Amino acid sequence: MLPLKEKDRPIIQKLLDAGCCGRCILRFCCIGTQSAYRLSNEDLWKDLHAFVSNTEVASQTPSDDPPSKRIKLDSDGKADGGETEGVPMVTAEPTADGTESSVCVVCLGVLQDFCNPSFTKKISEVVKSEEYQFESLVLSVSLPAQLLVREHSCWLHIKKEVREKSMCLDKEDVIQVKEAFKWTVQSMLSETLGVPAVMKSPFEVAVGFIHPDTDADCHFLAEACSDCFHTSKNKERSVFTRMAVVKALEKITDKKFLNEYPSPPAGVKTACVAQETTCLHLSTYVAGRYNKFSRTLPQTPWVIDGERRMESSVEELIAAPLLTAFKCESFNFSSSGREDVDVRTLGNGRPFAMELLNPHRLKFNKMEVRQLQEEINQSSDKIRIRDLQLVTREAMGHMKEGEEDKTKSYSALIWSQKAITEEDIEFIGNIKDLEIAQKTPLRVLHRRPLAVRQRVIHTMSTSHLNPHHFTLQLRTQAGTYIKEFVHGDFGRTKPNLGELMKTEVDILELDVESVDVDWPPAIPE
Amino acid sequence: MEISEHKEAPSVIDRYYTRWYRTDLKGNACEDHCVLQHSNRICVITLAETHPILQDGRSIKSINYQISAGCSRLKNKVSGKSKRGGQFLTEYAPLCRIMCTDGVEYTIFSCIRGRLVEVNEDILKRPDLLLQKPSTEGYIAVILPKFEESKTVTEGLLSRAQYEEVVSKRANQQPEPC
């Protein structure tokens, strides 16, 4: 039995006359019992008619309608709304087999033609074909914006009757189309796919509906509430977004709305068309450390004026096997700092993390992760990774934490203009915690703000190679620009190595020896 | 890498910058300027080695970034990645005036269109930097051309080869230039 009350009768009668479907009628009666919406169209229709027929006997005045609101508006122009009733545009009489005959004027068929096992089956087949790993799901529904206009029109049509049912009921208490759709389809889908439907599931199944015939329903709002609609930069997109229409409907007065738009809404010939079902799984994350052994491999793709410089990159080499394994479309790479294309990263490597977008596969045991790491390492001798592991989005924060106050160790090959002996460079090893001031290096100044940064060179040591070359080991505060500390960058880093050695020096090679960030945790080999 | 004992290696400028020149600026003989353009479009303005200021025995009395009563290049301030607020310079915008001890004053020009990012304040305290290291520590200013003009700003300038040609012609024409 439907959970309907005596006072629902006039509402139901008016909605039936207006051409509403059964579920829209339940919605406007503010029925929150989900099971009611899960009845088949036929059963729901029968139950509603049975209920109304009883009413007709009881109330005796179904045809004793006052004059139509629109007629009144036209004649005296000062209708105060609410106390009159609209002209039924479509009379939804039950057909011979006991079902409604025409497309619902409010939901345009969404709750009529699509809230059934066969549409649910279509969705579930799409989901199955994509071969996702998921343990729960959430259904999202995108509806044409004009449904909001039609909803409003219908609300104004029966506002008085609803208020009579209970003074405290308002438009917000009407069950939303989306809600009603989910109560039926989402629960069926959850059953079909054998996973629970939960509000915050990482796995989203999205269905959308369009109804081009009635897109013009919204157009009058553009003039009535011009401030709600801003022409978007993307001309492809309509300005009538759901957000904008909601805003406009909140602003517009009932009188103005009724002047511009029929209430109840006009009938339509065809129902909404369902768009392709799409699935989206929340990103998953992996982290590790990488070594870079090449001086011609950039960390990320290097593109100048839309043209690619250098083949491949660290992130692409790491990502390729991951994309295949997680069956995902794309990724975002991040790391604890970065090195220049001509700089190697040795030692334990540099921490990195990778967001894998829309992964179809998620479950990997430790053995499989190890195999993945091996696969990446086999794929190229330019890089090597270690400590590969699945991580949470939150844990990734540790990598960027203290990027500034951690230390980094480097090894550099230095050229000196002045001929040097071992003794000449000994003094460098005695310098401790040298404070330097670095203006943003010219080589990155085009994309970073100009600033002077104070950095500390904690320790240095040297090994003499020949009269014009030596190796310099440095341990510095993270964020120190090593190349500029050596050559001085037009005197913009002070002091610089050349200044300390009182000659011109240059840096020929640079290696990162360690990045002292203790995340992600090491994984024993 | 094989580490030979060679004395010279390509310098930072050789590796990352392209040298451009404007000679005889504003029709003044030998007042040659050099623009070092980094591959990232940043430009460093310096005196060319043939500039009269750098010729034997000259010394600098003062360097002045106040180029007019209302405009000082020292007041230039930039903020953010896009260097908002920097003075916009056209090719013949003066950057500074340099007075030599012999009383001759020279004006140094921008040479290219772009936003002034910084001027070298170190040469105010140590004018000798300008004389001893004119193409590095003794630079005059840093200019960032507009992104869309980064290829075209150097169009009217001479390449290193063209500049050398001009200089050698000068030597042939007048035994003692400048």
> What pLDDT shows up at residue A66?
43
Listed residue (B68, B20, B24, B67) closest to B44, CA to CA: B20
If DSSP codes are grouped into helix, strand and coil, which group holds residue A205? strand
Summarize pLDDT for B19-72 with one digit per residue, the tens.
999 999 999 999 999 999 998 999 999 999 999 999 988 999 999 999 999 999
Across A401-413, b (16+ Cβ under 10 Å) vs e yields eeeeebbbbbbbb
Can you give the C-alpha Rg of chain B in angstroms?
17
Q: Best mutation site among B12, B45, B118 for testing chain A: the one with the most A CBs within 10 Å?
A: B12
Cβ-defined contact of A450 to B122 (cutoff 8 Å): no
CA dihedral A87, A257, A15, A246 (to 10 degrees): 160
Task: Give the least confident one: A87-91, A171-175, A314-318, A399-403.
Answer: A87-91
**Inter-axis angle of helices A366-379 and A314-325, to 10 degrees?**
140
What's the pLDDT score for residue B7? 55
Does residue A520 belong to any structural domain of this protein?
no
Q: Are residues A349 and A451 in the same domain?
A: no
Give per-residue pLDDT as tens, A435-481: 999 999 999 999 999 999 999 999 999 999 999 999 999 999 988 99
Q: What is the mean pLDDT of residues A269-290?
A: 96
At residue A523 the predicted structure's pLDDT band, cuts being 50, 70 and 90, is very high
| pLDDT recorded at residue A85 | 41
Nearest to A448 among B5, B38, B81 (CB): B81
Residues A34 and A96 in one domain: yes
Give me the catalytic one of A340, A342, A506, A516.
A340
pLDDT at B176: 56
Distance CA A165, CA A319 (A): 61
Query: Which element (helix H / strand E) includes A316?
Result: helix A314-325
Consecutive H or E run containing A488: none
Residue-wise pLDDT for A191-217, tens only, equals 999 999 999 999 999 999 999 999 999
Tell me whether residues B9 and A506 touch, CB distance under 8 A. yes
Is the same domain home to A221 and A355? no
Q: In this predicted model, what pLDDT tens digit does every residue of B114-168 receive, in sequence order? A: 999 999 999 999 999 999 999 999 999 999 999 999 889 999 999 999 999 999 9
Residues of chain B contacting residue A486, judged by C-beta atoms under 8 Å apart? none
* A426 residue type, one letter: E
Partner residue facing A442 (CB), from B7, B79, B142: B142
Beta strand residue intervals within A255-399, DSSP E: 273-274, 278-281, 284-292, 302-304, 307-309, 330-335, 343-357, 383-391
Class of domain B12-167: mainly beta
A340 is known as an active-site residue: yes
Q: Give the span between the Cα atoms of A67 and A86, in whole angstroms.
A: 8
CB contact under 8 A, A443 and B40: yes
For residue B120, CA distances in Å to A489, B17, B45, B72 come to: 12, 18, 10, 13
Of B1, B81, B136, the CB nearest to A509: B1
Residues A138 and A221 in one domain: yes
Secondary structure of A426-482 as H, E, C letters: HHHHCCCCEEEEEECCCCCCCCCCCCEEEEEEEEEEEEEEECCEEEEEEEEECCCCH
- DSSP per-residue letters across A94-154: B-TTSSB-S--TTTTTHHHHSSSHHHHHHHHHHHHHTT---S-BEEEEE--THHHHHHHHH
**Residue A232's pLDDT band (cuts 50, 70, 90):** low
* Nearest CB neighbour to B5, from listed A467, A489, A508: A467
Residues A62 and A136 in one domain: yes
Q: Token pair for residue A68? A: 């139509």
Q: What is the number of structural domains in chain A?
A: 3
With CA atoms as reference, report the closest residue to A150 among A187, A113, A103.
Answer: A103
Q: Which residues of B touch A (CB under 8 A)?
A: 1, 3, 5-7, 9, 11-12, 16, 38, 40-42, 44, 78-81, 83, 117-118, 120, 122, 129, 133, 136-137, 139, 142, 144
Helix H or strand E encompassing A382 = none
The region of weakest confidence among A85-94, A254-263, A321-330, B74-83 is A85-94
A490·B139 Cβ contact <8 A: yes
Q: Is residue A393 part of a domain?
A: yes
A154 and A34 part of one domain? yes
Whether A86 shows a pLDDT value over 60: the answer reads no
| Same domain as A373, residue A458 | no
Residue of chain B whose alpha carbon sits nearest to that of A417: B7
CB B52 within 8 A of CB B31: yes
- The alpha carbon of residue A178 and the mean position of all alpha carbons in its chain are separated, in whole angstroms, by 19
Is residue A525 one of the residues assigned to a domain?
A: no
* Residues A2/A48, Cβ–Cβ less than 8 Å: yes
Q: How far is B22 from chain A (nearest CA, A)?
A: 21
Give which of B140, B152, B147, B169 is closest to B34, Cα–Cα.
B140
Domain stop point among A248, A264, A279 = A279
Joined tokens for residue A289: 């450390």
CATH code at A461?
Answer: 3.30.70.3190
Alpha carbon distance, N-terminus to C-terminus of chain B: 46
pTM to 2 decimal places: 0.79
Q: Cα angle vertex A172, ends A259, A112, to 5°?
A: 80
Domain end call among A222, A257, A279? A279
Q: Is A425 helix (H, G, I), strand (E, B) or coil?
A: helix
Of A444, A469, A491, the CB nearest to B136: A491
Distance in angstroms (rounded) separating the CA atoms of residues A522 and A67: 80
- State whether A340 and A440 are in the same domain: no
Secondary structure of residue B4 in the 3-state scheme: coil
Both A205 and A59 in one domain: the answer is yes
CATH number at residue A353: 3.30.70.2510
pLDDT for the residue B5: 59
Half-sphere exposure of A355 (CA within 13 A, CB side): 13
Q: What is the ipTM of this complex?
A: 0.94
> What is residue A449's predicted lDDT score, i.e. its pLDDT?
96
Which residues in chain B have Cβ-Cβ distances shorter than 8 Å to A485? none
- Whole-angstrom distance, CA of residue A77 vs CA of residue A70: 9
Q: Is A3 inside any structural domain? A: no
DSSP reduced 3-state for A22: helix
Report residue A94's pLDDT band, with 50, 70 and 90 as the boundaries: very low
Residue A523 lies in a domain: no
In the prediction, which pLDDT does A88 show?
Answer: 39
What distance in Å separates residue A351's CA from the closest CA in chain B?
A: 27
Band of residue A101 on the pLDDT scale cut at 50, 70, 90: low
Q: Are residues A186 and A122 in the same domain?
A: yes
The span from the CA of B117 to the CA of B87, in Å, is 8
pLDDT grade for A230, boundaries at 50, 70 and 90 = confident
Q: Can you tell me whether residue A68 is helix, strand or coil?
A: strand
Domain that holds residue A464: 403-515
The answer to whether A449 contacts B44, with C-beta atoms less than 8 Å apart, is no
Phi-psi region of A198 (alpha: psi -120 to 50; beta: other; left: phi over 0): beta
Whether A367 and A319 share a structural domain: yes
- pLDDT class for A68, splitting at 50, 70, 90? very low
Query: What does the DSSP assignment read for A76-89?
Result: HS---SSSSBPPPS
- Relative to beta strand A203-210, strand A138-142 is parallel
Residue B133: its chain A contacts at CB < 8 A?
A: 491
Of A382, A399, A416, at which residue does a domain stop? A399
Average pLDDT over residues A496-509: 95
